[in-house]
Amino acid sequence: MDEDACKSASDWSGSLIAAVDADNEFPPDSCDQLRTLRVLEDAPDWAREHASLALADLAAVGSGPMADLRADTVARDFTVLSGVGQLNVLVARMLVPGSPWPGHRGMEAVVFRSRSSRTPNWFPEHETSHDVVTFADTVASSAALRNGHGHVIFPELLAVSEPLETQRFGIVLADHLAYLYRTHTLPVAAALGWLNPSDARDPGELRTIAFHAHEWGHRATDEGYAENVSRHRRRLLAVVSEVTADVAALQMLAASSHPLAPRVARALVFDRILRDAWLARWEAHVASIVGRVLLQFLIRSGALTELPEGLTLELAAAHGSLEPELAALHRTYRASNRGDDTAAIRYFAENGWTLDRSGISLSSAEPVLEQLQHRAREAQSA
């Protein structure tokens, strides 16, 4: 794009975001009065293909209220454009995990550029490999994405009439992920006295590689991961799947001789236990529950200990416990995937969790957890 094209792209993107934010804040009575609709109709050439998907969804709801808007066309047909200089526009009603409005499916928009980011070649190879995840840099995004902790967009987060059976796309807003890591995680780690000088070197890159490590963990423990989307709608399975992926990633990193491996493992653990674990209304977020389950494992394995001088984290202390933990989780995950939750229920119950119709909750608070929560919230509000 030349300079003029860039300017007009950013002007239109700005109008789109303003319209989406205004529609969320002051929803009109019917979808045909949405400000977003007008802006999409005026989409410049580069945005027309993606805008037409959102327009098809808006046409389908017609004069219905915003709550009836379904992002079926976007969920089914959105494909990421990754040519040089190409921008992507995704507009849909969706849930933003970690947003300031948990559980609410609002109108959201993001304009982004896809970024090439491959699994590092020092990770062990898998039999199965698929690249459904696209890393992206945000050009502009609506308020929930901008102000919240959400950094992934998958079709299953979209408001759709019929849930999709396979994952058609996955977008990781890598710049936002790195930003959150720098602004919300590292300061907490620093306040706890956990930071090595090497943790603060290229933190964004470490966090991105940690994301790859987690994805690697999914593929290492489930060859049919991409086809398993519909089953992961079950919250319990989603949590088990995430914890299993984290522990698989940590074990792979612990066994690696690559000089970055220990730093990547720390980035993965830091973000989970210092940011994800303490989101507002944490019980509503899979990532938060996972963060606490991982914390409990770190406490059990002796990696996280309480000393008179404060809480200390020494990941190497957990190395010997990773393999048996992963074996137990992997078994649990496979059984849950087949529909047998007995092992999962036992795993959670042994760790003080209660499972009932309303979800998964932690029945007994551990003192270290309480203390860490206090320190994390204190450091984040500082």
Residues forming contacts to Zn ion in the complex (CB under 5 A) are 242
Residue with tokens 């933190």: 203
CB of 82 to Zn ion, least distance (A): 22
CB of 112 to Zn ion, least distance (A): 20
Closest CA to 179 of 215, 198, 157, 151: 151
Residue pair 342/159 in contact (Cβ under 8 Å)? The answer is no
CB of 211 to Zn ion, least distance (A): 9
| Spatial separation of the C-alpha atoms in residues 236 and 355, rounded to whole Å | 9
CB of 119 to Zn ion, least distance (A): 14
Closest CA to 336 of 258, 204, 232, 224: 232
- What phi and psi, each to the nearest 5 degrees, are found at residue 98? 80, 15
Q: What is the CA radius of gyration of the chain?
A: 21
21 vs 242 by CB, closer to Zn ion: 242
CB of 242 to Zn ion, least distance (A): 5
Q: On the CB side of 38, how many CA atoms lie within 13 Å of its CA?
A: 9
290 vs 379 by CB, closer to Zn ion: 290
231 vs 375 by CB, closer to Zn ion: 231
Closest CA to 142 of 101, 185, 108, 165: 108
| Spatial separation of the C-alpha atoms in residues 243 and 290, rounded to whole Å | 6
242 vs 276 by CB, closer to Zn ion: 242
Residue pair 133/121 in contact (Cβ under 8 Å)? The answer is no
The pairing of strands 133-141 and 170-173 is parallel
241 vs 296 by CB, closer to Zn ion: 241
106 vs 150 by CB, closer to Zn ion: 150
| Spatial separation of the C-alpha atoms in residues 326 and 331, rounded to whole Å | 8
Burial class (CB in 10 A: 0-12, 13-18, 19+), 233: exposed
97 vs 148 by CB, closer to Zn ion: 97
- Give the pair of three-digit tokens for residue 98: 């970690």
Crossing angle between the packed helical segments 342-350 and 235-255, to the nearest 10 degrees: 70
Dihedral, CA atoms, 203, 206, 211, 212, nearest 10 degrees?
160
CB of 121 to Zn ion, least distance (A): 21
